[in-house]
């Protein structure tokens, strides 16, 4: 049995595969492989271990006749044509749970960084501009008592909510369905999207990217937001219309934004790079040593189980 790994991943995952007598072929580069090269290298593989930057479409699926499982090294799987894989009897798996806390931590770190202008203040200090204590220097926003709106209350959205509760914030959430447990644990209140946008001082996006959530936050939604709101996106860039985000930041509608993901990732809209009131990260939501190791183990275990004829641990499709 053979697996093709499209990029560099933590060694623990590779060792696990080898220990289970699976031959590992790996692209030892961080650059996403072009489609033709990926097909060529993965041609006779039984399993594919890929990253969110690899678009696994029909053409690739059709070109890999032995493929039994596509194991995504991410919780989001919008990069894979799951419907087609399912039609072809191929498992698609992801890495949920193991990255929930790391991603929620990062979203909250962005919220704090935006509220208290941490990055801007750091730059100011390094540039030698700290000459005296000033009563109005780098004024930010309080968290306690403020309302945070969580869009998408899945695992990560809920973990983010728990952090917000710790900071004594009021929580609104918008999701397809009510989540009793989350409400009991955090006091979160279920809301329509428009009410959440109107009432929230902070808005954090935790929804997967689907046809329904593409540009969920567009011009109309920015207009509904409170003046001076703060937007955090650690979900997927395409959930926000980045052009409208720039307009909302320029007009002062938004106080600031904290972004880990971008509509045209890894490209970043030029205007954002020039703005002081945005914190920009290179998609590091799950980037802790422990979490990335656990993701590698889970991605490998999903492959091992499928190749042993068992159901994977964390499938995203049903076969």
- Tell me which residues touch ligand DGY (CB under 6 A): 52, 74-76, 99, 283, 285-286
Query: Closer CB to ligand DGY, residue 76 or residue 312?
Result: 76
Query: Closer CB to ligand DGY, residue 3 or residue 74?
Result: 74
**Minimum CB distance to ligand DGY, residue 111 (Å):** 17
The set of residues, in sequence order, having a beta carbon less than 8 Å from that of 53 and lying 6+ positions away, is 7, 32, 79, 266
- Whether 83 is catalytic: no
Residue of 15, 183, 265, 297 marked catalytic: 265
* Length of the chain in terms of residues written: 319
What is the token pair recorded at 48?
Answer: 């594919």
Query: Closer CB to ligand DGY, residue 163 or residue 283?
Result: 283
Query: Closer CB to ligand DGY, residue 277 or residue 288?
Result: 288
- Whether 163 is catalytic: no
Cβ–Cβ under 8 Å, residues 282 and 43: no
**Cα–Cα distance between 20 and 166 in angstroms, integer?**
43
Query: Closer CB to ligand DGY, residue 75 or residue 231?
Result: 75
**Minimum CB distance to ligand DGY, residue 9 (Å):** 12
**Minimum CB distance to ligand DGY, residue 97 (Å):** 11
**Minimum CB distance to ligand DGY, residue 234 (Å):** 7
Residue of 117, 163, 206, 283 marked catalytic: 283
**Minimum CB distance to ligand DGY, residue 246 (Å):** 22
The upper half-sphere exposure of residue 76, i.e. CA atoms within 13 Å in the direction of its Cβ, equals 24
Catalytic residues: 236, 265, 283
């Amino acid at each position: 049995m053979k697996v093709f790994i499209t990029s560099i991943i933590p060694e623990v995952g590779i060792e696990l595969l080898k220990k289970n007598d699976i031959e590992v072929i790996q692209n030892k580069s961080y650059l996403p492989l072009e489609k033709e090269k990926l097909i060529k290298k993965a041609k006779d593989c039984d399993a594919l271990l890929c990253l969110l930057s690899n678009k696994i479409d029909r053409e690739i699926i059709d070109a890999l006749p032995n493929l039994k499982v596509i194991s995504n090294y991410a919780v989001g799987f919008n990069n894979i044509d799951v419907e087609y894989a399912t039609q072809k009897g191929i498992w698609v798996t992801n890495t949920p749970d193991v990255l929930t806390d790391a991603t929620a931590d990062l979203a909250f770190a962005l919220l704090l960084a935006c509220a208290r202008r941490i990055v801007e203040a750091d730059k100011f200090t390094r540039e030698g501009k700290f000459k005296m204590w000033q009563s109005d220097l780098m004024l930010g926003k309080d968290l306690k008592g403020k309302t945070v709106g969580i869009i998408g209350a899945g695992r990560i959205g809920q973990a983010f909510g728990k952090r917000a509760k710790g900071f004594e914030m009021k929580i609104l959430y918008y999701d397809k369905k009510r989540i009793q447990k989350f409400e009991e644990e955090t006091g979160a209140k279920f809301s329509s999207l428009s009410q959440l946008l109107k009432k929230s001082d902070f808005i954090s996006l935790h929804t997967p990217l689907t046809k329904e959530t593409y540009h969920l936050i567009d011009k109309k939604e920015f207009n509904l937001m409170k003046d001076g709101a703060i937007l955090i996106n650690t979900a997927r860039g395409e959930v926000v219309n980045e052009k409208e985000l720039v307009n909302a930041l320029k007009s002062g509608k938004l106080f600031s934004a904290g972004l880990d993901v971008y509509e045209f990732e890894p490209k970043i809209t030029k205007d954002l790079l020039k703005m002081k009131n945005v914190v920009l990260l290179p998609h590091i939501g799950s980037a802790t040593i422990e979490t990335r190791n656990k993701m590698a183990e889970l991605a490998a275990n999903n492959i091992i189980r499928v190749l042993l004829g068992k159901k994977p641990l964390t499938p995203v499709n049903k076969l």
